[in-house]
Amino acid sequence: MAAISGGKTYHHGDLRNALICAAVDLATEGGPERVVLREAARRVGVSPTAAYRHFDGRGELLRTVRTHAQRLLADAMERAAAREPGADDPALAAERRVAALCRGYVGFAVDQPGLYRAAFCAPRPAAPDEPAQDRQTPDPELRAFTLLREALEALARTGTPRFGVRPASGAAAWSAVHGLSLLLLEGPLRRLSAQRRNAVVDTTLAMVVSGTRTH
């Protein structure tokens, strides 16, 4: 049983999870660099080294947070797409879905900058010995990318025959929304007014939708 009453027990009962929650909170507040083992332990009310019973160290804790953040990002995208009204024209619907997913993506980044950055924090230093992988799909875990790619493929299928989708257009589209998010978040485009920001987002989405098609 978890300790229900206020009385502290020597064993926490669910420390791993509690630490993850605290770490996610930290990331939410200040991004990956604020995910600090000692602080997470402090918030849970446990000694710093206790965390080592559940994680290899700060690195693994951070990786766990990253996984959570990626999930939340994909959730936000799906919610945004679900809110989008359907359309009679399937091509229009597909186009709208792509745009909605992208908006959800950028919206999550802007609303949850800490989590967004945590979702893409690199496992530094990158092990240079890892084998080159040649998939176009980078990581099955990354639902965000899958959503985007599938939406683009659906868009291609609905198009008139003279349209097609370039092979790596998923990655290209992703690049655009990812770069846009980072420039808005912590890059030189932070500090834009909401109005200008929307204009930039719209222009970028137009580029993605119209620019991924061959003609």
Partner DNA sequence: CCGGAATGTTCATGCGGTAAACATCGGGCA
Partner DNA sequence: TGCCCGATGTTTACCGCATGAACATTCCGG
What span, in angstroms and rounded, lies between the C-alpha atoms of 26 and 81? 28
What span, in angstroms and rounded, lies between the C-alpha atoms of 31 and 43? 17
Backbone angles phi, psi at 197, to 5 degrees: -60, -45
CA angle 72, 133, 67 (to 5 degrees): 15
Compose the 52-81 pattern: x for residues touching DNA by CB under 7 A, - for all others.
Answer: xxx--xxx----------------------
Which does residue 9 touch among a copy of itself, DNA, none (CB within 5 to 8 A, set by kind)? Answer: DNA
C-beta closer to a copy of itself: residue 19 or 152: 152
The reply to whether 48 sits near DNA by the rule CB under 7 A is yes
Closest to 181 measured CA to CA, from 117, 99, 100: 117
**From the list 25, 30, 39, 75, which residue makes contact with DNA (rule: CB under 7 A)?**
39
# residues near DNA by CB under 7 A: 21
- Tell me how far, at minimum, the Cβ of 142 lies from a copy of itself, in Å: 6
Structure tokens at 85: 């009204």
Structure tokens at 102: 């992208």
C-beta closer to a copy of itself: residue 49 or 136: 136
Compose the 8-37 pattern: x for residues touching DNA by CB under 7 A, - for all others.
Answer: -xxxxx-x--------------------xx
- When computed from its CA atoms, the radius of gyration of the chain, rounded to whole angstroms, is 20
173-202: which residues touch a copy of itself (CB under 8 A)? 173-183, 186-193, 195-196, 199-200, 202
Is residue 101 within 8 A of residue 151, CB to CB? The reply is yes
* Sites of contact with DNA (CB under 7 A): 9-13, 15, 36-39, 46-50, 52-54, 57-59
